[in-house]
Each structure stands twice: as C-alpha cells, then as structure tokens.
Structure 1
Amino acid sequence: MTDPTDGRADVLSALLDRRSTAALVEPGPTPAQLDTILRAATTAPDHGRIRPWRFVVVSGEARARFADALEDGGVARDPDLPAGVREKLRSKAFVAPTLVAVVAAPRPAKVERWEQVASAACTGYAIVLAAHALGLGAMWKSVPFRTGPLLRDLLGMGPDDELLGWVLVGTPADPASVTGRPEPDLTGLAFHLTAGGALTPH
C-alpha cells in the first residue's frame, strides 16, 4: 500500500531545500515541464477564483525582443540612462534559457486590488517551487520599473496591469547550488500570541 504521506514529504522537501540560483544553462524546461510549471502556478491562493494574473513565456530568439522591452522601460523611467546601464538591462533577458514573466492583472471584483496583486505574487513562488521539484533551477528577478511602452505592448499589459518580475528557469550550472539550504532560523521572525495579548518568540 502506498503511504499517503509520501507526497506530502516531497512537498515539504521542495519547500525546505529550495535555493535560488542565477547560474542557469541549457537545456531549459521541456514543453511538458513548462506545462506542469504553469499549471502549478495557477494553484496559488485566489480569493473569488478570479485569476488576477497572466504569464508570458520568453525563450530562444524571443529573448531579444524582451531585451528591447527592458531597455525601453529603463529609458522611459530615465531618458538619460547611460549606455552601460542600458546594456546591463538588455543582458537580463539572456541569463537563462527560459523566462516566465509574471503579470498581475487585477480585475473588477469585490476582492481588493492589493489582494489580487498578492495572489499574482504567489504564482511566482509557485513557479519557482515547481521548477525545483522538477529538478530545474529557478530564480525570481525584477527591475526598478514595471512598465514602459514597449514592455507593456510586448506583454499585452492593460492599463491596470503590473509586471511583478520574471522567473528564470533552466538547468543549474552547479546542481549542488540549488539544494542544501541552511536550517532556517526563526528568531525574530515567528511569534505566538498569548491569551493575554502578548507576543512570545516561537
């Protein structure tokens, strides 16, 4: 008989062992892996089931278009952006085989906007966890700006949409770099509320 706790242990291992890594090389995720990753992203907490998010997968030669959009967004934020900074922005599109842009797309609903954006942010973490569970490396990246004419057009963003960043996905250059996270220290992070209204350390 299969132990029903086995799958739960796998989930906990993914949560506790995962590390971000920016050193990612080919191959990127297969179509089947990518489909699994995106499906996992849709399991994020979603009050009202309104799915206030959207994903845009960027890989291969399409990364050049994303590089253009990142540069355009930087220039929209600062018209005097130095050439070196522009090139650095462009380079962000090529550091992994696949990028999954996470766009918060709040919808008219009783659910407050902040909660919809929080739901979208959760999808990014789900993407990272799913990639790790599949044996891939992943890292969430962002830039100081979240808009720009070309960036908004390229990602199909509406007037209320926000780019929350993108998740790099690929094969870890060093497999050992994505596991073995140090034991987490909860000091100063976790507390218990007592019946008397005081906070005590976990």
Structure 2
Amino acid sequence: MQSQADMVKQLSERELLFHLYVTQLILIITSAVLSLFLFQDVNAFQAIWELNIRDILFYGGLTGSLVVIIDFILMKVLPEHFFDDGGINEKVFQHRSIIHIFFLSWIIAISEEWLFRGVIQTHFGLVFASLVFAMLHVRYLRRWFLFTIVMTLSFILGLLYEYTESLWVTIFAHFLIDFIFGVKIRLDYVRKQKG
C-alpha cells in the first residue's frame, strides 16, 4: 500500500493545492453541519466565537510563540529524521509566497479549530478531540515522534480552549504555528536555491 508521502510526491503543486483546499472546505462543511445538529441554539454556537482581542493576542500569541520556540529548540538538539514527514510540508509551502502561506495558515487554522475544538471538544471532550485530531494527521501515524508532537499540540490547544472558552484564541495560536513554520520552510528553500 502506498504511503501518503509517496502519493503526494506524485501530485503536481497545483493538484496538491487543490486537494489541500478541498480538504479544508470539507472540514468547514462538516463543522457547519455538525454545529447545526449539536449546538442547542444560536447563543450556544455564538458563545464559542467570543471575540476578545486581548485574550486572542495574549493567550493565543503566547501559546503559539512558545510552541514554535520549543519546536525550534527540538529541531536543533534532535536528529533531523525525527522531523521527516516525507517532504509533504516542504511541497506544500516551499514554493508559496508569504501572502499565500498567510492565507493558507488562516484557512487551515479556522477549519481545523472549528471542527476539533469548537465542535468535537465542546461536545465530546478534550481527549476524544485530541485523538481524532492526531489520527486525521495520517502522515504522522507511522512516525512516533511527529505523532507525539501533534497529539501534544492538540492537548495544548484543547487546554487553551478550555481555559479561554474562545475559539478565536486557539485559531490564532494554530495560525501562528503554521504560518511561522510555513515561512521557515519557504525561506530555507530560497536560501538553498541561492547557495
């Protein structure tokens, strides 16, 4: 059976982007449909979307920044193969402009956080949401270290959601993590091409 990394390698950049956007659209539609059935009323649904700029910037920004710093430290001290996802993240981000990485990171953060924190965690709990989040990152299932990182990240975002009760806080933290690592992949690629 072909691995996800092997399948991705066969896709053109255009096909990969198409599949990425379709996946995010499916997550958004799934979240919307589940929200219709699981939330008691509009007020309960609106409550998860509380917009508190201070909390978003402070808690979301602090959490996202700490995750990135810890990841960068781990990348410096651990062997490179621990972080090998089969080249999927590189293929997604290395040829994207910074603006496109910014946009992609927002779409991914909104679609994943709405589903995993806003819908699944709200109705089925932190542990179940974190397990589903980790399992849907299929490419990490055979890589124990990356799977552990994704599971830990999901728990951190889940705890952040429980503490702040605001989906925008976790969306911002998730966005920061994806955006910073996407830009890093892009800049590493540009440096390699020049040097």
Same fold, TM-score > 0.5, yes or no: no
Which structure shows the higher strand fraction?
1
Larger radius of gyration: 1
Which structure shows the higher helix fraction?
2
Taking CA–CA contacts closer than 8 Å with sequence separation of 6 or more, which of the two structures ends up with the larger relative contact order?
2
